[in-house]
Amino acid sequence: MDNTDSSQQFSPAEVKNIWQQMCAKLQPEITSSNYGTWVLANPVTEILYIDQNKLIATVTSPTAFHATNFKKNFDQIVSQSLGEITGKEVQIEYKIGNPNIRSEIPHPNQSSYIPDTANYNRSPQSPLQDTYDSPITNKQQIPETSVSTQPANSAFSFGPLTSTMSPRVEQLFSEATLSASSVDHEMAIAQNIGMRRDYTFSTFAVSTTNEMAHAAATAVSNRPGSSYNPLFLYGGVGVGKTHLMHAIGNNILHNNLQVRIIYCTGEEFTNEIVQAIQNKKATAFKNKYRNCDVLLIDDIQFIAGKNAVQEEFFHTFNAITQQSKQVVMTSDRPPQEIRLLEDRLRSRFEAGLMIDIGQPSFELRTAILLIKAKAAQLNIPIELAKTVAAKVDSARRIEGIIKKIRSEIELKRKNLDEHLIAEILKIEEPENKQQIRVSPIEVIKSVSNHFRLKQSELKGNKRLKHIVTARHITMYLMKKELQMPLADIGKWFSNRDHTSVLHAVRKVELDIVQKPDLHQEVSALVTTLRMISR
Amino acid sequence: MKLSVNQPELHKALSFTHKIIPSKPQLPILSSVLFHADTDQLTISATDLFVGIKVSVDAGIQEGGTIVLPGKELKALIQSLPSEFITITAKNGTVTIKTNQTTVKLQTQNAQDFPEFPVIEGTSISLPTAQLEQMVHRAAYAASVDPTRPILTAFLWRLSEDKWEVVTTDGFRLAWQEFAPLQGLEDIQLLLPAKALTEIVSIAKQVSSELVEMKLDQNTKQALFKIGTVEKFVRLIDGTFPPYEKIMPSEFITKVTFDRQEIVDTLKRAMIFGKDSSQIVTFDILEDSVNISATSPTLGSFLDSIKQVAITGQTQQIAFNTKYLLDYLNTLSCDTILFEMNESLKPAQFTDPALISHRYIAMPFRVAT
């Protein structure tokens, strides 16, 4: 062998070559079964120089049994014949392992484990051909501890069933399962918190009525605890408070899975306290709420008037905000209008950022409708979307209508056209109409407040344009929401004739479809009346 | 050599060595057992060079010596003999086995050819048999038997200062257990062949040994288990265990609590119909009940609607191989079973709700619709 003195180690090809020569030498001298078990299975895998004339050869044995017996029976013969081949004095060391072990999980660097056969320059009839590829030759049974004789990849290509059969099981450790687990994780956490995954910022339509709220929510979700704390969002039914709140939660979770988020409604919070007190688990309750990183409470107004709950919430709130953890609340009205809310809570709510989300404008409702329709894979033409948006005042009802349209199309195979929309809107209306229980005087009061008029002006005879509009709206509300007889309505307005009332109602009905701002005023008033009626 | 030994004792020892003896060894001597008698003890050994066993047997020894006898035939012979003393004498290469009625003469092979056992160095650690038994009972079925994937035929022992995790998987389902940390073994991962571990437990039960002494030699990659008078040598498996932590879901969308006996009964019924369709059983998790169904293209179909369940989360559908589920469910004795899942093609989990230290993850089947 030609080896320069500078090389400290024989290259794998050289080792292989030496080993091959040695095998050829030994093979005739011993029985084939001994040769197979003791020689072939225990190859020399490494040869190192100690000095000019001395070498150390490492024999890699599959087990300690092999090594022990190789040492006992072949140590001398092998070191001697290695000496003859290399012309040096050879000492043998033993190592347990597999000369060509392959890891179970295939990875790009896999090839480094597999000997490069092209470099070995061995003759085709060499007995080593088998051996280097599989240390256990075919003749020997494969014990449980044998090395893989298959390329690692092939183990992944079949399951317990062949792939041609229809039921298939994926590998537990397949790439898909491994990579999906983190996505799953996020989804499952969101589910457990109680957040809807489809309520994200990307599905939230922004317009003038809610852009402030949207901006604040985005800021809070990107830097929870440090931008606006607490964030208090308020507004009427279906303006998107809950959507924004879920979007905050989802975005925080997406940025960091470790953040502990609690989402609940004011009612759930109340129920949980009651239960905790009943089961004497108040400490667990406190630990749960006071140690979270983000607390999202929907409809906080619900805790008003409940002293023990307010007390607990006050402490929870303090504990969280003191650690600069984020609190986000929503309510259907601003803190100062929440009746029976303790002053210390009110002042705390007002200390953060309070944002009013207005009723969605006609354009925004159209946009929301289009976004939601797209999410439901429904292709609504913009004209039809406008028709729906004109008739429907809250975003929440839009969702319901989309579901209805979808089921009509899917289940009854109807075409998406004006007739279908008209039909659905007709069915929709009575179902969603909540009976508002307020007195006529309250309607008058609300409307006059809304338009900054005196009640006497509203009831009087002045024919100034803005007063007339307000008066008509009041009549309309009394007819539509309170279902009062036309004659009775007339009595409230300086004893007007029922035909005048009918004219007013019809005019508003007509205008409401054509003038988006009028529609907005009316729906805002309806919302206000609903609040009072509760 | 001259000694006398009680038939039941010898038979028991040979039944242990019998498990090791390869059926078609490359090296003929590996089908033999080695008898070694010194002044006060008879030791019987066998090995396939990957696993080895040494059994000490109580015997009346008059003269020491070493003989090598054909393992299979000797076991069959001793098994058939009545329960009485057997005398074994060896002289000039001929072994005579004699009872009141029977006389057998056998040729001994050269004792020098019998492989020498390695010396295992390392500190000894005591493992309670009951714990090992529980570990094997709860998880051995989940290990693979496919010799081309040796890593999956192993029990993973992952030991750290605060816990001892034990995992088996065949790539389609996975059993995970956690035990208190083992003193003296920290920050180490071991791959122990499931077959060997199962046998160790079986031996420990047969010899009524309450403790199993384990010695680990990382240099020679051998583990030595001392079970009473039996010593078992086991080659540790090389390689990296798959990243099991990554595929064990920590959160779930849908959770169902079943009565264990009820679900076992249902699955057994379903199995009758699953025979032609790879034992596939489908779970339809509804609002307040779970429909379990199986279809046979030749036989017909089966549907059980389980109403006595507690369900939280979304309604879902998922399909499993019945065997995978029964393998696990049959190892338990609890009253209820908690089933948790995320999506119909993602790993799902089964647990005994009272036992947080044992989890079973099964990969669902994709059913063509």
**Highest averaged pLDDT of the listed ranges A139-143, B271-275, B355-359:** B355-359
B23 touching A, CB under 8 A? Answer: yes
Biggest CA–CA distance in chain B, Å, is 81
pLDDT, averaged across chain A: 78
Residues in CB range of A238: below 8 A, 6 or more apart: A360, A393, A394, A395, A396, A397, A398
The answer to whether residues B183 and B148 belong to one domain is: yes
The answer to whether residues B142 and B64 belong to one domain is: no
The answer to whether residues B35 and B139 belong to one domain is: no
A499-528 pLDDT tens trace: 889 999 998 888 887 887 787 788 878 877
The answer to whether residues B240 and B257 belong to one domain is: no
Q: How many domains are contained in chain B?
A: 3
Cβ B27–A177 below 8 Å, yes or no? no
Domain range spanning residue B320? 249-362
In this structure, is residue B347 part of a structural domain?
Answer: yes
In this structure, is residue B367 part of a structural domain?
Answer: no
Q: What is the pLDDT of residue A146?
A: 34
| Closest CB from A137, A172, A187 relative to B363 | A172
Question: How many whole angstroms separate alpha carbon A380 and alpha carbon A202?
Answer: 19
B345 touching A, CB under 8 A? Answer: yes
Q: What is the pLDDT of residue A122?
A: 34
Question: ipTM for the complex?
Answer: 0.85
Average pLDDT value for residue range A294-313? 90
Nearest Cα neighbor of A264 from A273, A255, A276 is A273
**Contacts A–B by Cβ distance under 8 A:** 189
pLDDT, averaged across chain B: 91
In this structure, is residue B58 part of a structural domain?
Answer: yes
> What is the distance in angstroms between the CA of the first residue and the CA of the last residue of chain A?
100
Q: Final residue of a domain: which of B58, B81, B113?
A: B113
Write out the E strands in B183-298.
188-193, 211-217, 222-227, 230-235, 254-259, 280-285, 290-296
A420-460 pLDDT tens trace: 888 877 766 554 456 778 888 888 888 888 888 888 888 88
Average pLDDT value for residue range A83-107? 72
The answer to whether residues B44 and B152 belong to one domain is: no
Nearest Cα neighbor of A215 from A225, A227, A226 is A227
B30 or A177, which is more confident: B30
Q: What is the pLDDT of residue A127?
A: 35
Cβ B22–A141 below 8 Å, yes or no? yes
Q: What is the pLDDT of residue A168?
A: 65
Cβ B52–A189 below 8 Å, yes or no? no
B278 touching A, CB under 8 A? Answer: yes
**A454–chain B nearest CA distance, Å:** 54
Q: What is the pLDDT of residue A195?
A: 85
Average pLDDT value for residue range B207-215? 93
Question: How many whole angstroms separate alpha carbon A233 and alpha carbon A241?
Answer: 6
Pick from B251, B341, B349 the residue to mutate for testing the A interface (most A CBs within 10 Å).
B251
The answer to whether residues B217 and B294 belong to one domain is: no
B24 or A156, which is more confident: B24
| Burial status of residue A124 (CB atoms within 10 A of its CB: 0-12, 13-18, 19 or more) | exposed
Q: What is the pLDDT of residue A263?
A: 93
Cβ A167–B366 below 8 Å, yes or no? yes
Cβ B249–A160 below 8 Å, yes or no? no
| Closest CB from A37, A104, A159 relative to B26 | A37
CATH number of the domain that residue B226 is part of: 3.10.150.10
A306-346 pLDDT tens trace: 888 898 899 999 999 888 899 999 998 888 888 888 888 88
| Chain B residues lying within 8 Å of A69, measured CB to CB | 115-116
The answer to whether residues B108 and B134 belong to one domain is: no
Residue in chain B nearest A155 by alpha carbon: B149
The answer to whether residues B253 and B233 belong to one domain is: no
Q: Final residue of a domain: which of B245, B272, B302?
A: B245
Cβ B49–A66 below 8 Å, yes or no? yes
**Highest averaged pLDDT of the listed ranges A119-123, A189-193, B244-248:** B244-248
In this structure, is residue B118 part of a structural domain?
Answer: no
The answer to whether residues B318 and B212 belong to one domain is: no
Chain centroid to CA B98: how far? 36
The answer to whether residues B204 and B143 belong to one domain is: yes
The answer to whether residues B253 and B239 belong to one domain is: no
| Chain B residues lying within 8 Å of A159, measured CB to CB | 172
Question: How many whole angstroms separate alpha carbon A317 and alpha carbon A303?
Answer: 13
Give whole-number Cα distances, A179 to A176, B247, B364, in Å: 5, 9, 17
Q: What is the pLDDT of residue A428?
A: 61
In this structure, is residue B369 part of a structural domain?
Answer: no
The answer to whether residues B226 and B281 belong to one domain is: no
| Closest CB from A103, A146, A147 relative to B240 | A103
Helix, strand, coil content of chain B in percent (nearest 5)? 25, 40, 35
Q: What is the pLDDT of residue B75?
A: 94
Q: Final residue of a domain: which of B245, B269, B290?
A: B245
B153-207 pLDDT tens trace: 999 999 988 889 999 999 889 999 999 988 888 788 999 999 999 999 999 999 9
In this structure, is residue B119 part of a structural domain?
Answer: no
